[in-house]
Amino acid sequence: MKTIDVLIESAGLSLEQLATATELPIDRVEAIVDGRWLPRPAERAALAAALGVEVDAISWGHTMSPRNVRYHRFGLSEDF
């Protein structure tokens, strides 16, 4: 099982090419690849088909740490 960014890189596709192949908006594809958006089943199927793999061969899920998101939005208030 591989993450979608690894599969895109090994397929040699750009995000624009993947968005075109899946008919998904480019910002949605970017969010999925960045780990900011968990794709719906139909989006997963379209992405897997465009990459030539089964849906179960892709590790889906959020990859961004909520702590990092909070830090980038509000700064670090905790004193370590």
Task: Name the residue ranges covered by the structural domains of the chain.
Answer: 2-74
User: What's the pTM?
Assistant: 0.75
Per-residue model confidence (pLDDT) at position 61: 73
Residue with tokens 């897997």: 48
pLDDT tens across 2-51, in order? 889 899 999 999 999 999 999 999 999 999 998 888 899 999 999 999 99
Smallest CA-to-CA distance from 22 within 64, 52, 2, 1 is with 52
Smallest CA-to-CA distance from 41 within 63, 60, 19 is with 60
Region at 41 (left for phi over 0; alpha for psi -120 to 50; beta for the rest) = alpha
Q: Specify the long-range contacts of residues 11-15, CB closer than 8 Å, at least 24 apart.
A: 11/51, 11/52, 13/50, 13/51
Per-residue model confidence (pLDDT) at position 60: 84
CATH code of the region 2-74 = 1.10.260.40
User: What is the arithmetic mean of pLDDT over 64-68?
Assistant: 58
